[in-house]
């Protein structure tokens, strides 16, 4: 693999799929800049991850990120098709699974995203389980997220983490959050209220097991979406995507997110951006605290 590694253990990985597919394209460059600035301000170094013309990059520069986000259509790379882009000289944004894979190869231990993928069942479609889940069994990276996307079967997704034996921990929460909602209806394995304590746990766990940790940071209270609005919007978004012929496989998540952003008049987009930024802040603080542990 051709890997340009500008990162290391003092870095927080950021992914490109949420930029290229999770928000309207015109919002992506500013979000990318803001996330990198937030990580720096909180005491770590940002390392945005993507694949450009067959080369994996951990720590994309402005030119590389600008080139990717200027493309009209950017492919979505997860652990299953990452190698195809690498071998064919292709370009793709990386999802949680592919970002974990490349971050691990670059020695990066902390990664911030919005929400991880999981178990999804759309009416009439097959059972869709994101590659994100199993990536936690393979790559020693702590992923700071607002739990899993609320468009998923949240309870089954939480069970899947139990099945694969990856720890799910809460930053100042006992509840397993679901993206726009602070409480997704399930629990975390352990709650941490103190950053050095969480840093020690994460550092030791990554070393001991060689696999990932899901760190759950609920969306800030002020940005949470009212559950009633959420249920209404999701029903409408799903039926819209279905009547438009459905969106299978890799298009499912981007299509539903885009429909939600429209139906909610931008409320879900604002909430999404707010939670991603907060996750970047917490991830950077976690990374900085891990760097302070002697011998790490
Ligand atoms: N977080 C966001 N927006 C996103 C994602 C995360 O706020 O779009 C992306 C991540 O890259 C995650 C992907 O891996 O959604 C899940 O896609 P799928 O369900 O197809 O596995
Ligand atoms: Mn999927």
Domains, the chain, ranges and CATH? 3-295 (3.40.1790.10)
Ligand nearest to the CA of 99: 1
Residue 41 has pLDDT above 80, yes or no: yes
Q: What confidence tier does 246 reach under pLDDT thresholds 50, 70, 90?
A: low
Residue 146 in contact with ligand 1 by CB distance below 6 A: no
CA of 78 to the centre of ligand 2 (A): 10
CA of 130 to the centre of ligand 2 (A): 4
% of residues, the chain, pLDDT over 70:
98
Q: How many residues does the chain have?
A: 296
Q: Is 15 a catalytic residue?
A: yes
Nearest CA to ligand 1 atom 17: 117
Question: Degrees (nearest 5) of the Cα angle 76, 79, 80?
Answer: 85
| Cα-based torsion angle of the residue sequence 240, 246, 249, 250 in order, rounded to the nearest 10 degrees | -50
Structure tokens at 134: 């199993």
Residue 39 has pLDDT above 90, yes or no: yes
Q: Is 149 a catalytic residue?
A: yes
Using alpha carbons, list the distances in angstroms from residue 248 to 33, 127, 140, 168, 255. Answer: 31, 10, 30, 28, 9
pTM of the model: 0.97
Q: Are 188 and 171 in contact (CB under 8 A)?
A: no
CA of 92 to the centre of ligand 2 (A): 16
Residue 277 in contact with ligand 1 by CB distance below 6 A: no
Residue 152 in contact with ligand 1 by CB distance below 6 A: no
Structure tokens at 105: 């190869």
């Amino acid at each position: 693999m051709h890997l340009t590694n500008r990162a290391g253990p003092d870095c927080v990985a950021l992914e490109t799929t949420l930029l290229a597919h999770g928000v309207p394209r015109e919002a992506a460059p500013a979000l990318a800049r803001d996330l990198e600035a937030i990580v720096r301000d909180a005491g770590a170094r940002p390392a945005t991850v993507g694949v450009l013309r067959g080369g994996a990059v951990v720590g994309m520069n402005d030119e590389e990120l600008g080139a990717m986000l200027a493309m009209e259509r950017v492919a979505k790379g997860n652990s299953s098709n990452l190698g195809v882009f690498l071998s064919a000289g292709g370009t793709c944004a990386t999802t949680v699974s592919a970002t974990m894979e490349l971050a691990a190869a670059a020695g990066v231990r902390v990664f911030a995203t919005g929400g991880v993928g999981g178990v999804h069942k759309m009416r009439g479609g097959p059972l869709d389980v994101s590659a994100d889940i199993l990536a936690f069994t393979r790559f020693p990276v702590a992923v700071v997220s607002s739990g899993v996307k609320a468009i998923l079967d949240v309870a089954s997704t939480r069970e899947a983490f139990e099945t694969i034996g990856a720890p799910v921990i809460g930053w100042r929460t006992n509840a397993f959050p679901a993206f726009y909602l602070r409480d997704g209806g399930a629990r975390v394995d352990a709650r941490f209220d103190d950053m050095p304590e969480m840093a020690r746990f994460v550092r030791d766990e990554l070393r001991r097991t060689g696999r990932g940790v899901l760190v759950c940071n609920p969306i800030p209270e002020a940005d949470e979406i009212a559950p009633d609005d959420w249920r209404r919007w999701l029903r409408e978004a799903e039926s819209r995507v279905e009547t438009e012929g459905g969106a299978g496989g890799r298009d499912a998540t981007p299509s539903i997110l885009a429909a939600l952003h429209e139906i909610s008049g931008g409320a879900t987009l604002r909430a999404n951006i707010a939670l991603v930024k907060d996750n970047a802040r917490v991830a950077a603080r976690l990374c900085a605290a891990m760097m302070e542990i002697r011998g790490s």
